[in-house]
Structure 1
């Protein structure tokens, strides 16, 4: 199969060990991640051929980030370097009724200053079969929006499948572009929509409820507004507290509605990157299975990510398959 290509910012996450607050600890640990990179690394862990495109700092932190990405077999040949620092975020892990907390330091990062002449899309897409983007990237700067739009145009010209996870985070859109208009512009180049009612309502200006009936209606209206979109997938999270969630997923592919069963996650280790794990499992599955099985694979991959520290899902195809076969015992393998 051809490459799955992801485009977005590489971030360093800094956290106190365990579930401590920063004020409790003078010992921290770091992880590398970033929404799109998390998707790429997870697909690579499943055995996929993946390339990540972005910009990292031209220092030992950037060197370390690239070494980390290479460790998973992800192609880094299209990652540029910048004199600006790598983006950082600080994360306190919550527990039970105490929520997790994040503080970002990325407004003048190496990636935020990206410009169209820094990515040669014709070269970067040579082996590409699938391009994945999220709403995080166009929110960061005019440059990141422009580069992404050019990449999507080139990808569609070359016949790539384009998946969109139009995550909307109001606080990131600080450079003057209207989020609804920007995301709508980019969705015209997308074929797979990975998002739920919140994202659809934000883009269409609608007020659909969370019911399955409204999800189908919303998906149909989305496909009418953006005719290139062929399928809509939605991950649903039910939070009992910070440590106990339920995960399921649903889809509308233009012909059929399907919903998975709940997967109970009673003792969350780390929930960061779990949506990315769903997207990665879904993309991996859509290239191999029918839509229903692909979504079930994505849902199980998402559930497993809750058991790993860090931003990236380290689970394997065999581990996901075990969950799909109904074995959630977590018994010791010898």
Structure 2
């Protein structure tokens, strides 16, 4: 996707210039996993024009393979970000209708070919929100992955500006039996999986653990659940903590103090990539959640949608005190 952002303190309807970045949820995860040492492929469709060329160049510059990137269609999906400041949060305006990707048909992709040799696939709810054809494609992709013994990762990543909770719930319930790694938070499971809301007097971590236990009883195929707790002090100051549930236990990272936030967009994708890296590496749950939260915290310190930090840099950051000089 093409992202166009205002400068801090400038409203979108006042802007005379916009900063350009390229990204998107799955693309951002692929970029991070590439920087973490894995061979990552991005499956999508882009227009055969200079913007499509820029997308391919962006992915290749981060080591992401574009062998399965289809070309055609009318346009590259885009979105506009009115950058938040102080108590005013950022605002996103989408312009994605009839994009090349939203018009992608299942028959355009050779599913067995793209899954051949893969260890894991990752998809988000944003993709499924774009069109019925993409919903059909993702369901077929997950079914085939299960047949081939490939791990399936899914991030609910619900966006109210793209579809309703009811629409998302119908789609998500169809794919739950095929998921091995699930990224979802408390509001996701209450509103889209129809779980009764837990007692709000309970600590947040206890409620989350109860939700994950209940979902796992319904869908024992899910080995890992993950999410973050984010406390918003202001648009440029947040507290972030990671959660990972596996083997009947909830593991939490330390609380990261994000202040100042340079760019929040892509922080969740960096977190997801960190979880996936740890699972692929076979690390203990405590190390996985520490790495993932550190990766997300680092992403908040740079402009753009994707995380440019290497595995070694994330590990070093996770092991040191915040702000300490590395000499």
Class of the TM-score when normalised by the shorter of the 2 chains: over 0.9
Answer whether contact 1:52 1:78 (CA < 8 A) is retained: yes
| Whole-angstrom CA distance in 1 between matches of 2:228 and 2:54 | 32
Query: TM-score of the superposition, structure 1-length normalised?
Result: 0.92
What's the RMSD between the two structures over aligned residues? 1.7
Spell out the pairing of 1:39-118 with structure 2 (5 A cutoff): 39-118=29-108
| Whole-angstrom CA distance in 2 between matches of 1:203 and 1:291 | 27
The aligned residue for residue 178 of structure 1 is 167
CA deviation map 1:72-113 (0-9, x unaligned): 111111111123100010112111112111100001111111
The aligned residue for residue 109 of structure 2 is 119
Does residue 128 in structure 1 map to residue 118 in structure 2?
yes
| Whole-angstrom CA distance in 2 between matches of 1:220 and 1:212 | 12
Answer whether contact 1:220 1:254 (CA < 8 A) is retained: no
| Whole-angstrom CA distance in 2 between matches of 1:23 and 1:104 | 15
| Whole-angstrom CA distance in 2 between matches of 1:297 and 1:328 | 14
CA deviation map 1:149-193 (0-9, x unaligned): 11111111111111111122233127x983212101112110111
Does residue 150 in structure 1 map to residue 143 in structure 2?
no
CA offset at residue 127 of structure 1? 2.0
SS in 2 for 1:193: strand
Gaps of 5+ in 1: 1-10
The aligned residue for residue 8 of structure 1 is none
Does residue 309 in structure 1 map to residue 303 in structure 2?
yes
| Whole-angstrom CA distance in 2 between matches of 1:170 and 1:103 | 12
The aligned residue for residue 259 of structure 2 is 266
CA offset at residue 323 of structure 1? 2.2
Answer whether contact 2:47 2:74 (CA < 8 A) is retained: yes
Does residue 235 in structure 1 map to residue 224 in structure 2?
no
SS in 1 for 2:289: helix
Gaps of 5+ in 2: none
Answer whether contact 1:38 1:313 (CA < 8 A) is retained: yes
Find the partner of 1:201 among 180, 190, 195: 190
Query: TM-score of the superposition, structure 2-length normalised?
Result: 0.94
Spell out the pairing of 1:309-328 with structure 2 (5 A cutoff): 309-328=303-322
The aligned residue for residue 298 of structure 1 is 292
How many residues were matched structurally?
Answer: 322
| Whole-angstrom CA distance in 2 between matches of 1:98 and 1:238 | 15
